[in-house]
């Protein structure tokens, strides 16, 4: 039997089905006590949630509160119960609170108020006039759903691709009286967490030295560095609108070029027959806040048209006829449906967008790369910051890691920021005291030169180092996405250190790398409905797979719009004068915004596009658990954080990735190597995912 809560969400109430689902999602075995299952069942009933959502909250509790991988015991579940109650008590959102403050004032005006009355026959009349009151919200216990199973596109058994979000953590200490897992010890340092293609050998390059100054590889850039040197914080509204419009119109042109028999129409106009249209998915309210667990649902989605195709109007979407979908704000979609009343577009089908192809190389290029490489393959090490504990400025662990790099002697080392993390507690407070330094640093640039630069200079000069910044890097003036590169001379970096922008695309021999240092896996939360037909589902049950597919389909490294933002508590209690100084509701939100958010430079979002083809290797560091996956023939790697944030200043645990890529072999006897195309005799697919051994190791 099922019932519906006050938000209309179906909740399972059958005891037997709920127990089976809880046991499956939480991975309970016969050895677990019945008390654990009864406690989980009690929590699901108390907080009116299902097994998948309860597991998401359990993972969030592990990551943000105790920062450990807890065992399922009754004692730990009691602490989990307290955490859920605290979340329920603090589920008020800054957007709603700010709206009330504005409406209570006598001089402030609402954020959205139509300048003219909209008639009931207008297609836009369905747009809510008071967004803060019309927002569809889901209860705190009904967070984003991600099943634990369904890793069909993953090449190995890997359970870390579950939905694990980093919610804003409170000051409460949940570490006391918690039963930690006995298997998590420091003895696991350097051991692999996950290995892709473990049957392939590791490249042994230790101790290889040569007097030859030529390198066994060549790095070519697929971007223009000068285009990233734009002025930040000077965005113009019309320029941003033109870019957002161009995203829709460009995709519409690509659709019409690939499907000549289809004519795109305006979905906002009344239509009694099915039409095809192209537009952007947007939430029903501009005050929608992803950081406050305001999970979007299917009834809160609108379709936005461009000024060319629909005068920029928005129309509500009715998705009730669809068996499966996966939608998120900012997504460009190709829809089939009708709008019989002029008030709502009923979607009959979500059509696939034209896809990018895989990169190719001709036989002469592959022969050349094999010759300069000596047929020894390529070894790459990847690590993403932060590189010290968030309570210290101690980079000893990073220095030891560089010693290991020199011993492994890879061809390329890719280091992704933040290097000096602006969210570090000492950097925030300015209380920086370097040990063993005669002269203390004057600013953050000096801190970088005194800590990071000497460690980078320790790396063997024959190893190419690629450094990519982060929006959380405290020493870079360019703090929006797309992001300019570091100043190599300013920070005294060695000649073998190459500084690239964020995002960037580059080739090492025939291998095309695409790297974006903005956490799309944490930020993008799609509204999805999965098909019960398990034979050929359009959308994967694994959340990471869906996000990666969206990135490739949208042809942008960060396809979500608006970007993710986090807000702190409202500490403004200084009266009306202080409220006025904050310039209304939006000023109040900006005053409480956190630095750990995605600041998009909208007029330059064209620099964040994938290009003409998919990369061979897609690197996207995330705060979530590290993983390596293969999606659409692309090797997707999240190396995790080198040093994970921790309340314990002595805890320095994290992960990094090692690539061992076999050399291209064009002989007919070679298996799992480059593959000749069907159309061109001398053109080959790289098949990097088949000839690469990727290991994610603990720090």
Q: Which domains does the chain have, with CATH numbers?
A: 2-89 (no CATH), 100-112+120-139+235-354+520-597 (no CATH), 223-231+358-519+607-698 (3.60.21.60)
Token digits for 450?
């005194």
Beta strands in 486-545 (DSSP E): 497-499, 504-508, 511-515, 527-529
| pLDDT recorded at residue 184 | 42
CA torsion angle 110 114 116 121 (round to 10): -140
pTM above 0.75, yes or no: no
DSSP secondary structure, 396-447, as one string: HHHHHHHHHHHHH--SEEEEES-SSBTTSHHHHHT----TT-SS--SSHHHH
Task: Measure CA of the first residue to CA of the last residue in the chain; give whole Å.
Answer: 48
pLDDT given for residue 575 in this prediction: 41
SS3 at position 544: helix
Pair 282, 288: CB distance under 8 Å: no
pLDDT at 289: 58
Q: In what order do the strands lie in the sheet with 683-685?
A: 360-362, 683-685, 675-676
CB 339 within 8 A of CB 267: yes
DSSP for 153-197?
A: T-SS-----S----PPP-S----TT--B-TT--GGGTT-EEEEES
Preceding peptide of 487 cis, ω within 30°: no
Which strands form 412-416's sheet, in the order they lie side by side? 192-196, 692-698, 655-661, 378-384, 412-416, 464-468, 497-499
Alpha-carbon distance of 374 to 187, in angstroms, equals 37
pLDDT at 591: 52
The Cα–Cα gap between 607 and 80 comes to 43
Distances (CA, A) of 438 to 315, 433, 435, 445, 477: 65, 11, 8, 17, 28
At residue 595, the pLDDT reads: 59
Supply φ then ψ for residue 54, to 5 degrees: -65, -40
What's the confidence (pLDDT) of residue 212? 56
Sign of CA dihedral 277, 279, 283, 285: negative
Omega within 30 of 0 (cis) for the link into 65: no
Q: What SS3 state is found at 257?
A: helix
**Helix, strand, coil % over all residues of the chain, rounded to 5:** 30, 20, 55
pLDDT of residue 123: 38
Distances, alpha carbon 24 to alpha carbons 19, 21, 175, 625, in Å: 9, 5, 27, 21
For residue 619, the SS3 value is strand
Task: Return d(Cα 241, Cα 230) in angstroms, integer.
Answer: 18
> Residue ranges of the chain with pLDDT lower than 70?
1-15, 30-33, 67, 90-188, 206-214, 286-295, 436-439, 534, 565-597, 669
Residue 174 pLDDT: 37
Exposure class string for 88-98: b at 16+ Cβ within 10 A, else e? eeeeebbbbeb
Alpha-carbon span 413 to 33, nearest angstrom: 47
CA distance 610 to 554: 9
The one-character DSSP state at 66 is I
Retrieve residue 366's tokens. 């592959």
Q: What is the pLDDT of residue 345?
A: 97
Asked whether the beta carbons of 623 and 59 are under 8 A apart, the reply is: no
335, β-bridge pairs: 277, 350
């Amino acid at each position: 039997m099922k019932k519906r809560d006050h938000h209309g969400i179906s909740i399972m109430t059958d005891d037997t089905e709920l127990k089976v689902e809880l046991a499956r999602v939480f991975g309970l075995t016969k050895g677990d006590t019945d008390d654990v299952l009864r406690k989980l069942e009690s929590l699901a009933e108390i907080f009116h949630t299902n097994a998948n959502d309860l597991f998401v909250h359990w993972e969030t509790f592990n990551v943000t509160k105790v920062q450990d991988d807890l065992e399922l015991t009754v004692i730990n579940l009691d602490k989990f119960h307290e955490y859920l109650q605290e979340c329920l008590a603090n589920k008020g959102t800054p957007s709603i609170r700010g709206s009330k403050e504005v409406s209570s004032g006598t001089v402030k005006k609402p954020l959205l108020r139509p300048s003219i009355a909209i008639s009931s026959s207008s297609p836009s009349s369905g747009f809510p006039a008071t967004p803060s009151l019309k927002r569809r919200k889901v209860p705190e216990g009904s967070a984003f759903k991600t099943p634990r199973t369904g890793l069909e596109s993953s090449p190995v058994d890997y359970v870390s691709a579950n939905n694990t979000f980093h919610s804003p953590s409170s000051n409460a200490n949940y570490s006391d009286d918690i039963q930690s897992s006995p298997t998590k010890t420091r003895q696991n340092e350097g051991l692999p967490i996950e290995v892709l293609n473990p049957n392939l050998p590791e490249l042994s390059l230790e101790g290889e030295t040569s007097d030859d100054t030529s390198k066994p590889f060549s790095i070519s850039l697929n971007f223009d560095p000068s285009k990233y040197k734009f002025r930040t914080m000077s965005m113009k509204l019309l320029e941003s609108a033109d870019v957002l419009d161009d995203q829709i119109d460009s995709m519409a042109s690509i659709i019409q070029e690939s499907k000549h028999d289809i004519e795109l129409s305006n979905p906002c106009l009344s239509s009694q027959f099915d039409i095809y249209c192209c537009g952007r998915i947007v939430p029903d309210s501009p005050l929608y806040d992803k950081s406050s667990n305001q999970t979007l649902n299917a009834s809160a989605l609108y379709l936005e048209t461009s000024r060319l195709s629909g005068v920029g109007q928005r129309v509500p979407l009715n998705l009730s006829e669809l068996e499966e979908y996966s939608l998120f704000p900012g997504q460009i979609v190709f829809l089939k449906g009708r709008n019989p009343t002029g008030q709502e577009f009923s979607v009959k089908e979500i059509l696939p967008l034209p896809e990018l192809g895989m990169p190719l190389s001709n036989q002469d290029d592959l022969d050349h790369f094999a010759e300069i490489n000596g047929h020894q393959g390529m070894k790459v090490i990847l690590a993403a910051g932060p590189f010290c504990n968030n309570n210290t400025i101690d980079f000893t662990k990073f220095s030891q890691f560089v010693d290991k790099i020199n011993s492994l002697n890879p061809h390329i080392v890719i280091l992704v920021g933040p290097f000096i993390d602006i969210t570090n507690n000492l950097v925030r407070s300015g209380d920086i005291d370097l040990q063993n330094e005669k002269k203390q640093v004057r600013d953050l640039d000096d801190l970088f030169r005194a800590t990071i630069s000497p460690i980078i200079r320790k790396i063997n000069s024959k190893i190419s180092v690629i450094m990519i910044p982060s929006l959380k890097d405290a020493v870079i003036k360019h703090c929006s996405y797309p992001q300019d590169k570091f100043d190599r001379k300013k920070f005294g970096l060695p000649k073998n250190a190459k500084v690239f922008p964020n995002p960037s695309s580059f080739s090492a021999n025939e291998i095309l790398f695409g790297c974006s240092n903005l956490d799309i896996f944490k930020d993008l939360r799609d509204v999805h409905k999965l098909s019960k037909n398990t034979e050929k589902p359009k959308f994967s049950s694994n959340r990471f797979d869906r996000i990666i597919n969206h990135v490739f389909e949208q042809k942008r490294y960060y396809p979500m719009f608006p970007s993710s933002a986090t807000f702190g508590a409202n500490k403004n209690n200084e009266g009306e004068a202080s409220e006025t100084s904050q310039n209304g509701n939006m000023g109040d939100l900006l005053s409480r915004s956190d630095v750990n958010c995605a600041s998009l430079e909208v007029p330059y979002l064209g620099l964040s596009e994938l290009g003409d083809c998919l990369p061979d290797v897609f690197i996207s560091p995330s705060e979530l658990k590290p993983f390596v996956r293969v999606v659409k023939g692309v090797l997707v790697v999240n190396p995790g954080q080198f040093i994970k944030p921790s309340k314990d200043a002595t805890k320095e645990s994290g992960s990094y990735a090692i690539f061992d890529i076999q050399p291209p072999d064009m002989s007919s006897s070679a298996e799992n190597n480059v593959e000749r195309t069907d159309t061109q005799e001398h053109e080959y697919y790289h098949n990097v995912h088949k000839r690469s051994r990727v290991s994610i190791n603990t720090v």
